[in-house]
Amino acid sequence: MKPAVLFVCLGNICRSPLAEAAFRQEAERLGLAVEVDSAGTGGWHAGDPPDSRAQAVARRNGVEIGHYQARKVTPDDFRRFTHIVALDRDNLADLKRIAPADATAELSLLLDAVEGRVGKSVADPYYGDAAGFDITWRDAVAGAQCLARRLVR
């Protein structure tokens, strides 16, 4: 079965779009056939493009994400995706709370894939400065690379 990975943060405008972009890059590099999307546990930004600071850090790293549109996680996501990957521990707790009884997706944290960072959250950069988004990008790439390598095996 072709893997399908959904990255989930709170607003789907900062962290999960960057995880999606980093993972798309890495999957392409590895020749991994995978469906990829991102969503938020909250719906306040539904329909919005990623935060301009997230778009900027992605662009600096060679990826265009301005066409992404935020959306809220749906019950169907838990059946459609093989893996739902939360960016922080609150997101993971919320996902566990809203998962339907017939959910089949495997839930994890992005940094669970990274040796030495199991159980760690990717910090929310929304209320910080632009430099925070460089840290988010680095975390997104670290997680995406380890996760993609794991799925190739």
User: Looking at beta carbons only, is 12 or 55 nearer to ligand 4NP?
Assistant: 12
d(CA 71, CA 145): 24
Q: Is 93 in the site for ligand 4NP (CB under 6 A)?
A: no
SS3 for 72-138, per residue?
ECCCCHHHHCCEEEECCHHHHHHHHHHCCCCCCCEEEEHHHHCCCCCCCCCCCCCCCCHHHHHHHHH
* Annotation marks residue 124 as catalytic: yes
Which amino acid type is present at position 30? L
From the list 6, 10, 84, 140, which residue makes contact with ligand 4NP (rule: CB under 6 A)? 10
Per annotation, catalytic residue among 9, 14, 51, 77 = 9
Residues 110-139 that bind ligand 4NP (CB under 6 A): 124, 126
From the list 15, 26, 34, 121, which residue makes contact with ligand 4NP (rule: CB under 6 A)? 15
- Catalytic residues, which ones? 9, 15, 124
Positions in the binding site for ligand 4NP (CB under 6 A): 9-15, 44, 124, 126
